[in-house]
Amino acid sequence: MIFTVAIDGPAAAGKGTIGRAVAARFGFRHLDTGLLYRAVGVQGGDPAQAARDLSPGDLARDDLRTLEAGQAASRVAALPEVRAALVDFQRRFARSEGGAVLDGRDIGTVICPEAEVKLYVTASPEVRAHRRWLEVGGDEARVLAEVKERDARDMGRADAPLRPAEDAVVIDTSEMGIDEAVELACAIVSTRLGGRD
Ligand code: DC
């Protein structure tokens, strides 16, 4: 069975948690596509070359979740050569046998416009910054500034900007617990799966 769940949205909206939970519930594979850009961003040197040479080991580095890696990822993600080098891998993953969940910024719009389910998970910048601050600590105002800077870059770039696909279901987690958001996402997937055969 080929079945793709595309989950897009800004940083710290809950995409990753929802993506992992949906994948576990339905036995699908899960790809956090932000990790690809983070791995390229922390590499240094020529980002396009780093994207072409990316290996599974690069994705296992333990410094990919930092704020700095997120900023570096957002910067290299604006380069068309970097995005182009990562397209095939993501497309193959999305359409691989057995079902796949991918979370990122352009999954429903560019990587897999034919995805069976498209979700756009979002929340206010303040709520997202607070969540991120609970994970990373430090100065909350700085975390909020980073979130807003990354949003502006990811939404404003010319190539594959962050935006909801026209047929995406928007899930706003500003005032929703993560369990509720997961149940909502699973219900949407379940309905779509049920309607297939
Ligand atoms: O989801 P994340 O915070 O790990 O993503 C880090 C950065 O990578 C994000 O700010 C923009 C970029 N990115 C992207 O451009 N396209 C994707 N599909 C995933 C991430």
CATH number, domain with residue 141: 3.40.50.300
pLDDT at res. 130? 97
Is 44 domain-assigned? yes
pLDDT at res. 173? 96
Phi/psi at 172 (nearest 5 deg)?
-95, 115
Q: How far is the first Cα of the chain from the last one, in angstroms, to the nearest whole number? A: 11
Number of domains in the chain: 1
Is 109 domain-assigned? yes
- Token pair of 147, please? 């979130």
Residue whose pair of structure tokens reads 């897009």 in the numeric block: 8
Is 14 domain-assigned? yes
Residue of minimum CA distance from atom 20 in ligand 1 = 34
Ligand 1 touching residue 37 (CB < 6 A): yes
- Number of Cβ within a 10 Å radius of residue 163: 15
Ligand 1 touching residue 150 (CB < 6 A): yes
Ligand 1 touching residue 33 (CB < 6 A): yes
Mean pLDDT score, 65-91: 96
Domain containing residue 93: 4-192
Q: Is the dihedral of CA 79, 32, 89, 109 positive or negative?
A: negative
Question: Alpha-carbon distance 141 to 146, whole Å?
Answer: 9
Residue 76 C-alpha from the chain's centroid: 15
Rg (the chain; Cα; Å): 16
Mean pLDDT score, 83-98: 98
Using the atom order of ligand 1, give the atom closest to the CA of residue 106: 18
Using the atom order of ligand 1, give the atom closest to the CA of residue 64: 4
Is 197 domain-assigned? no
Share of the chain above pLDDT 70, in %: 99
pLDDT at res. 196? 72
- Token pair of 43, please? 């590499």
Task: State in Å: Cα 80 to ligand 1 middle.
Answer: 14
Is 17 domain-assigned? yes
Mean model confidence pLDDT for the chain: 96
Element at 170 (helix H, strand E):
strand 169-172
Residue whose pair of structure tokens reads 């036995």 in the numeric block: 27
pLDDT in tens, 8-65: 999 999 999 999 999 999 999 999 999 999 999 999 899 999 999 999 999 999 999 9
Residue 26 C-alpha from the chain's centroid: 19
Ligand 1 touching residue 77 (CB < 6 A): yes
pLDDT at res. 69? 96
Task: State in Å: Cα 123 to ligand 1 middle.
Answer: 16
For residue 58, give the amino acid letter: D
